[in-house]
Structure 1
Amino acid sequence: MGSPNGRGHRSPPVARAPGSPRAVGPVCVGKMAAVSLRLGDLVWGKLGRYPPWPGKIVNPPKDLKKPRGKKCFFVKFFGTEDHAWIKVEQLKPYHPHKEEMIKINKGKRFQQAVDAVEEFLRKTKGKDQASSHNSTEEKNRRNSSEERGKQSAGEEKRKASLSEGKVKKSTGEGKKRVSSVSSERGSKSPLKRAQDQSPRKRGRPPKDEKDLTIPESSTVKRVMTGTVAGFKWPPSVSEPVKDSDPHFHHFLLSQTEKPAVCYQAITKKLKVCEEETGSTSIQAADSTAVNGSITPTDKKIGFLGLGLMGSGIVSNLLKMGHTVTVWNRTAEKCDLFIQEGARLGRTPAEVVSTCDITFACVSDPKAAKDLVLGPSGVLQGIRPGKCYVDMSTVDADTVTELAQVIVSRGGRFLEAPVSGNQQLSNDGMLVILAAGDRGLYEDCSSCFQAMGKTSFFLGEVGNAAKMMLIVNMVQGSFMATIAEGLTLAQVTGQSQQTLLDILNQGQLASIFLDQKCQNILQGNFKPDFYLKYIQKDLRLAIALGDSVNHPTPMAAAANEVYKRAKALDQSDNDMSAVYRAYIH
């Protein structure tokens, strides 16, 4: 729920709601009269140090208990992966305060959240209009049916009258009475049938009409009337809300507002899988709601390195309520995170000495060593009990050396390189590969949930580095093959777009394939994973193979193509820019 403005605004005190059994508590907004908030309402919610954010009051999951203490609502926030119990005094109705909130918050993510609210309202309004249209059609249908019934009855009377005239002429007055009675019956029966078919006769709508009627939500009615109060509320807070909002797909469980040290509580919502190899996977119970169920650790977190991956990681740590101190070699990169609530560390040593667990994510083995062993480096801040987690993708020898020096000072060490890219980092959907201190791995549980969808514990130090290099070797080789296929299609007169369409319909279909091919077809090589880093990983993977006398000819061939791309000044472009090595 990040925003460039980390400062919020104090909400006025809460007054009790008189006489309303379903009102949790009216919110006093400035000089406005008290407004009762109900299930389904759109609101501005303030959580901790974050500025007010647009959300919707919804029912919490069945297994999620309401926190004790002050009364609160369960709110799902628009434009983020957040939802939480929010105290009543930290809530304001959405529409009366929209202009006020937009003026004080100009952040891009905030504007995206407001746009998501407006899109939700447009769709809801469209549904209500469709319902109204259907009701009008049903009314017209009933009226038409009644008219047809009346016309039918009139026709029967006319026929009966003609019949009665004929009887008078042929049988005389005595038989006329019989014919008249018979005619009366004949005229009444079809009219009665027509009336029975009409919904007006019974005084209630038919079953199909009920299906077409969709009650308006309080939020939509507020939009239509332009008032804060004076509209009907949903039937009961206890009734489930049918939430059709597309922005809320990913919410299942709640982030609690109060920090606590409770790895045990977190693991109740996890699947822990032991494999035959001895590796352990800690995985979110539902992959569509991976980081919506996080109780942040009360340990102080440090983070060193705010590159493509580190920036997204820190943003998610802050968003999920962790206390984070940041440092970056280029200090200006820290500014945004300071605005979001992070603290600034002047040196790596200072960050480590003031924090309980310090994470680092830098570019290569040299940078990782310099960060630990250099002037004012990590090692100078290590004392017994201090924890260091290196998330850089490096070789096993480097990470083993770093682990030894950290542990020699009484510190605890964990390697935890991540598989993913900038977008997955921003979305909190990384895959974490960890090895080293198992207890530290468990202490990092809430952090790993905030930044990723799955984490694996792979045993002793060095195993995660090896596994990460193998993963990136496969990815880098695949990317080179994609580029080779697209260029071959081009030179043989085949459509590159058609090739992509065919691949997307086959067994190779994946988000990675589609995104990278789209980058190439559009000529967009904005970095999501730097080309120079995938080449570095290929080089390290080849060296890993050499160390155990295992051939890696495919990786070696791909590495040469990436080296050519680097020679063409593609180092700081996305890895998909390897395509340019084939067309020059």
Structure 2
Amino acid sequence: MADTYKLGDLVWAKMKGFSPWPGKIIPARDNVKKPSKKHCHFIYFFGSENYAWIESANMKPYFQYKGRLMNANKTSTFKEAVDCIEKYIGENNILVPDLKEDTNDTNHEEKSITPPKERKIKGTPKRRPNSDASNVGSSGSAKRLKTESIKLKDSSLTISPTSHNSKARVSALLNRPVHIERPETPPLDVGSVSQTLKDKKIEPSGLKFGFLGLGIIGSGIVKNLLNSGHSVMVWNRSSEKCGDFVNAGAKEMMTPSDVIAAADITFSCVSDPQVAKNMVFGNCGVLQEISADKGYVEMTGIDADTSQDIAEAISSRGGRYLEAQVQGSKVQAEEGTLVILAAGDRSLFDDCQSCFQAMGKNSFYLGEVGNASKMNLVLQVMAGVTLAGLAEGMALADRAGLQQKDVMEIMELTSLACPLMIEKGKAIIEGGFPTHLPLQHMQKDLRLGMLMGDTLELPLPLTAATNEVFKHAKRLGYGEHDVSSVYIRTRF
């Protein structure tokens, strides 16, 4: 079949393992070896500013397939590429043909579609003379080539290493996106009562409760404690988070020790074991006011040793201690459907029952201090390895040219289907990663799980490998994103 493309045409060009990408056919440099296959064109890719030899069979006219293909990829780099080509079209006054899309074509096989003849492109992006294009293979497998600076003639659009596109060029061979900004967490409507909480018909305890830490999980828990009629005093390191809870009936205290002094039972839910210990042993901390008539419940994700240290300190002052680890994330905390794993003082567990009913759908008493922390880490290790497997599978599907939405649709019909896989799979497809469970918290739990394995002399090779994947994603800047953003590391 005859090749209908020519120099200057704007196209959608598809490399193996990548989504169709907006580009332009340009002349190849003399020192660039052309592949042996027929009907190949040298393509300049907008946004990433790279080059590759692409067969005509893997190209589509830009305007004719714009409506269908411009929404096929949701990554920030792809959107940037579309913005670049649209800006180029506008600044060069390229005529947009009035064409109907061929909606019956579902693959990238070559068809006798003549690209619109009325488009005229005045400029051609060129490489600097000293750019090395010698690594374009003659085997027909296209490889993108990096360029340092590109200027489109007869256009005011100049792209230089200092422009906003420079980040996109750093990892061009893998089409690595620039850092995805973490979506802002919508404000919590403290006054809204979930149907789940209404159905529980909880009779609140007459005791006074304190709560230290109003993070993602803590905020949802306190919301349900207030809406179920409990008396709650709150403290948070950044006091501005307390405002909505005060308006809903909570009382804000100045220090953690003030909360302990005013409350009968105080819950703590902070970011990690070190912060949990600082809350207890630090200035104006828990130990200053703990006494025989006080109870302290540690809900922070910690290891058994840290929990034991806190328990001994509380007990030495006559207080009661309970560790109450939670399974669930933002949605479960706000709806009151967490799973609570408790260990320690049994009488304190009983006194907290109305609170646990407001927080979750089940609470388990697991015996002596440390058991709940161990159980939580076991479950977190399983969840972390599962999420890494999901992320790698979705990355593999994308690189293989499969539609991720098809992967999810089929997976939901198999024994792999579970709320975690479905929820995080959808987050990967959407690509925004709004925080329900911070990635850095999962990495912390994987690290603690490995330490527990070391103590028990149990090899955990899968956990160790998964921890490295999460550590790298955290280093890339995704620590405060949702745990599903581990996909960024596995994909790129």
Provide the TM-score with structure 1 as the length reference: 0.51
| Residues 1:490 and 2:398 aligned together | yes
Pair 1:405–1:110, CA change in 2 (3 A): closer
Shift of 1:493: 1.8
1:533 maps to: 441
Shift of 1:361: 0.3
Q: Structure 2: how far apart are the matches of 1:583 and 1:457?
A: 40
Q: Structure 2: how far apart are the matches of 1:571 and 1:398?
A: 23
Pair 1:375–1:112, CA change in 2 (3 A): closer
Q: Structure 2: how far apart are the matches of 1:582 and 1:372?
A: 38
On the 8 A contact 2:439/2:483 being kept in 1, the answer is yes
Pair 1:319–1:485, CA change in 2 (3 A): same
| Residues 1:554 and 2:483 aligned together | no
| Residues 1:514 and 2:422 aligned together | yes
Amino acid across the alignment from 2:274: K
Amino acid across the alignment from 2:418: S
Query: CA deviation digits over 1:233-283, x for unaligned, max 9?
Result: xxxxxxxxxxxxxx97x58xxx7xxxxxxxxxxxxxxxxxxxxxxxxxxxx
Aligned ranges for residues 210-359 of structure 1 at < 5 Å?
A: 289=199, 292-359=200-267
2:279 maps to: 371
Amino acid across the alignment from 1:354: A
Amino acid across the alignment from 1:360: S
Q: Structure 2: how far apart are the matches of 1:434 and 1:112?
A: 28
2:363 maps to: 455
- Corresponding residue SS for 1:399: helix
Shift of 1:559: 0.6
Q: Structure 2: how far apart are the matches of 1:444 and 1:486?
A: 42
- Selected match of 1:503 from 404, 411, 414: 411
Amino acid across the alignment from 1:500: M
- Listed as ranges, the gaps of 5+ residues in structure 2 are 1-186
Aligned ranges for residues 40-59 of structure 1 at < 5 Å?
A: none
| Residues 1:380 and 2:307 aligned together | no
- Selected match of 1:389 from 285, 297, 305: 297
- Corresponding residue SS for 2:401: coil
| Residues 1:418 and 2:326 aligned together | yes
- Corresponding residue SS for 1:568: helix
1:476 maps to: 384
Pair 1:388–1:110, CA change in 2 (3 A): closer
Q: Structure 2: how far apart are the matches of 1:372 and 1:399?
A: 11
Q: Structure 2: how far apart are the matches of 1:418 and 1:316?
A: 15
Q: Structure 1: how far apart are the matches of 2:190 and 2:422?
A: 29
Amino acid across the alignment from 1:489: A
- Corresponding residue SS for 2:305: helix
Amino acid across the alignment from 2:230: H
Shift of 1:112: 8.1
Q: Structure 2: how far apart are the matches of 1:328 and 1:524?
A: 28
2:311 maps to: 403
On the 8 A contact 2:191/2:248 being kept in 1, the answer is no
Q: Structure 2: how far apart are the matches of 1:407 and 1:564?
A: 40
Q: Structure 1: how far apart are the matches of 2:469 and 2:356?
A: 34
Aligned ranges for residues 163-174 of structure 1 at < 5 Å?
A: none
Pair 1:109–1:354, CA change in 2 (3 A): closer
On the 8 A contact 2:211/2:222 being kept in 1, the answer is yes
Shift of 1:583: 2.6
Provide the TM-score with structure 2 as the length reference: 0.60
Shift of 1:438: 0.3
Amino acid across the alignment from 1:325: M
Pair 1:473–1:352, CA change in 2 (3 A): same
Query: Which runs of at least 4 in structure 1 moved beyond 4 Å after TM superposition?
Result: 107-113
- Say which structure, 1 or 2, has more relative contact order (CA 8 Å, 6+ apart): 2
Query: CA deviation digits over 1:99-138, x for unaligned, max 9?
Result: xxxxxxxx9859989xxxxxxxxxxxxxxxxxxxxxxxxx
Q: Structure 2: how far apart are the matches of 1:466 and 1:305?
A: 22
Q: Structure 1: how far apart are the matches of 2:188 and 2:373?
A: 36
Q: Structure 2: how far apart are the matches of 1:414 and 1:473?
A: 23
Q: Structure 2: how far apart are the matches of 1:109 and 1:412?
A: 33
Shift of 1:508: 1.4
Q: CA RMSD in A?
A: 1.8
Q: Structure 2: how far apart are the matches of 1:357 and 1:111?
A: 23
Shift of 1:511: 1.9
- Listed as ranges, the gaps of 5+ residues in structure 1 are 1-106, 114-246, 256-288
Q: Structure 2: how far apart are the matches of 1:415 and 1:481?
A: 30
* Larger Rg belongs to: 1
1:437 maps to: 345
Pair 1:110–1:527, CA change in 2 (3 A): closer
Q: Structure 2: how far apart are the matches of 1:382 and 1:307?
A: 24
Q: Structure 1: how far apart are the matches of 2:224 and 2:490?
A: 38
1:177 maps to: none
Shift of 1:293: 2.4
- Corresponding residue SS for 1:508: coil
Shift of 1:555: 0.9
1:563 maps to: 471
